[in-house]
Amino acid sequence: MKYTELPLIPFSPPRMDQAIIDEVIDTLKSGWITTGPKTKKLEQQLTEYAGHRKTLCLNSASAGLELILRWYGVGEGDEVILPAYTYTATANVVIHAGAKPVFVDVLPNFNIDPDEIRKHITSKTKVIMPVDIGGFPADYESINSIVNESDIKKLFNPSNGHQQKLGRILILSDAAHSLGATVNGVKAGNLTDVTVYSFHAVKNLTTAEGGAICLNLPMDFDVDEIYKELNIKSLHGQSKDAFAKSQIGNWRYDVLEAGYKCNMTDISAAMGLVELSRYDDDMLLKRKYIFDRYTNGLKDYAWAQIPEYETDHIKSSYHVYMLRINGVSEVYRDQIIEKIFAQKVSVNVHFMPLPMMTYYRNLGYSIADTPNAFIEYAREISLPVYYDLTDEQIDRVIQAVIEAAEEVIKERSKA
C-alpha cells in the first residue's frame, strides 16, 4: 500500500468516550455549567490523589502560574529562574507579572540543571520554576535543598508578608506534563511548595482547557486562606463565586481587588472527574505500554537515543516520548521529520528553546548562553502518544521513524 493511501496517524487527539459524554450531559442538565459542585469535587479529588494540602482549579495552567507569582508579590525588579527548554507559557507569565525571566541550561533529560540554578541566584531572585519536561520530574530534592541553604537564604530579599514568612525563594513547579509522575512514590503536586497542572486538550488528563494549583506550602501557611485569596484573584476580585452566591440569602458580595477571570467550569470539571477516576489504572498504563513498545522497537539502533522515563525511584507520567537522533544536526533532524510526515505519521518537537524565539531574542536573550538546551532540541523528535493509539499504528510509527532516520543518515554520510 502506498503511503498516500494510508490514514494519517495524528499526534495527540484527546480521548472522548461515552463515559465523558455522559458526565458532560449530566452537567448540562444539572443547571451548573460554570464553577460549581463538580469543580469543587475535582479540587477535592485532586488533593486526595496527589497528597498535597489544597487545590484550586482554573481555566489553564498559565493562569495558575501567574496567580501564584502575583500572590507571592513577584513584580518589577524581581527575577524568576526557569529552564530555557520549556513552552512559552512558563516565561510569559513572568513577563506579565513585570519580572525578569532568567533562563538557565538543562540536563540531558531536558530538565533544569540544579548547578545552573545555583549560578544564577541573586538578591533579586524570588521564584524558581522547574518544568517537568515530557512528564519526567525535575530534581526537586536538589532544588529544594538549594533554596534552604543558609548562604542562599541570606541573599533572599523579601518585599512583602508572604515572602517574609517563607523566608526564601519559592519553588513553583510547572507540572503541566507530569500529573501522576512520582519520585520515591510521592506524586507530582506534593514534591515542592506549589505545583501547577495543565489539563489542556493534549494532556494525559484533559478538561479541554484547564489547570490546577496544588498548594503544598509549609504548615505555618494557612492554605484555606490562600485558597480563598487565589479564588478571589481568579474571579475579578469578587469576594464570592457564583456557587457561593447561589445559596439562599447570600447574594451580596464585594470586589476586593482588580482580579482576573480564569475560573474552571463544571463542564470542564466533569471531564476531569471521569479521567481522574481511571487515571492510574488505565490512562497511565496505556501510555506506559506505548512508551515501552517504542523503546523495544527503537533501542537497538545506534542513532536512537531513548528518552529517560523510569529510574529506580522516578516514574514519568509518560506524557511525551522525546526521542533523540544521535549524530545529526537540526537541519538533518528536520529532514527526518519531513520524511516521517511523508509516511502519514504525525510527529512534533518539544520544544524550541525560548531564547530562540523572536520575542525573547528581541529582549536580548541568546541560545548561546544555554548550549545544552540547543543540543538536545536540535535532535529531538516527539512521537505520537495517546490512549486510542493501536498496536498497528505504533508499529507504523516505529517503521516510519526507522526508514526516515536511516535514509537521512545514509544521505548525510554521502555528503
**Angle CA 55–65–49, to nearest 5:** 30
Q: Are residues 269 and 318 in the same domain?
A: no
Residue 75 cell numbers, joined: 513584580
Which of 224, 257, 276 finishes a domain? 276
pLDDT tops 90 at residue 1: no
pLDDT tops 60 at residue 392: yes
Q: How far apart are CA 330 and CA 378, in angstroms?
A: 4
Query: Residue 150 falls within a domain, yes or no?
Result: yes
Q: Are residues 72 and 170 in the same domain?
A: yes
Q: Are residues 269 and 284 in the same domain?
A: no
Query: Residue 260 falls within a domain, yes or no?
Result: yes
Residue 62 cell numbers, joined: 498559565
Place of cell 538533518: 332
CA 88 vs CA 263, 333, 382: distances in Å: 21, 22, 17
Closest listed residue to residue 168, CA positions, set 190, 188, 151, 185? 151
Query: Residue 11 falls within a domain, yes or no?
Result: no
The pLDDT score that the predictor gives to residue 359 is 98
Please answer whether residues 327 and 346 qualify as being in contact, where contact means their C-beta atoms are separated by less than 8 angstroms. Answer: no
Q: Are residues 89 and 215 in the same domain?
A: yes
- Write out pLDDT tens, residues 259-293: 999 999 999 999 999 999 999 999 999 999 999 99
- Write out pLDDT tens, residues 121-147: 999 999 999 999 999 999 999 999 999
The pLDDT score that the predictor gives to residue 2 is 62
pLDDT tops 80 at residue 298: yes
Please provide the average confidence, as pLDDT, over all residues in the chain: 96
Query: Residue 410 falls within a domain, yes or no?
Result: yes
* Phi/psi at 289 (5° precision): -60, -45
Q: Are residues 186 and 309 in the same domain?
A: no
Please answer whether residues 211 and 203 qualify as being in contact, where contact means their C-beta atoms are separated by less than 8 angstroms. Answer: no
Q: Is the pTM of this model over 0.95?
A: yes
The pLDDT score that the predictor gives to residue 251 is 81
Q: Are residues 195 and 67 in the same domain?
A: yes
Q: In 111-148, which positions are buried (b, 16+ CB within 10 angstroms) versus exposed (e)?
A: bbbbebbbeebeeebbbbbbbbbbbbbbbbeebbebbe
Range of the domain at 89: 18-276
- Write out pLDDT tens, residues 167-181: 999 999 999 999 999
Closest listed residue to residue 174, CA positions, set 46, 61, 304, 338? 61
Report the domain count for the chain.
2
* Phi/psi at 250 (5° precision): -115, 30
Residue 1's contacts (CB-CB under 8 Å, 6 or more residues apart) are none
Percentage of the chain lying above the pLDDT 90 cut? 93
pLDDT tops 90 at residue 249: no
Q: In 275-286, which positions are buried (b, 16+ CB within 10 angstroms) versus exposed (e)?
A: bbeebeeebbeb
Residue 29's contacts (CB-CB under 8 Å, 6 or more residues apart) are none
Residue 46 cell numbers, joined: 485532586
Rg (CA), the chain: 22
The CATH number of residue 297's host domain is: 3.90.1150.10
Query: Residue 7 falls within a domain, yes or no?
Result: no
Query: Residue 2 falls within a domain, yes or no?
Result: no
Residue 327 cell numbers, joined: 549524530
pLDDT tops 80 at residue 71: yes
Query: Residue 123 falls within a domain, yes or no?
Result: yes
Query: DSSP per residue over 151-213, as a string?
Result: HHHHH----SHHHHHH-SPEEEEEETT-TT-EETTEETTSSSSEEEEE--TTSSS--SS-EEE
Q: How far apart are CA 144 and CA 193, in angstroms?
A: 9
Q: How far apart are CA 170 and CA 72, in angstroms?
A: 8
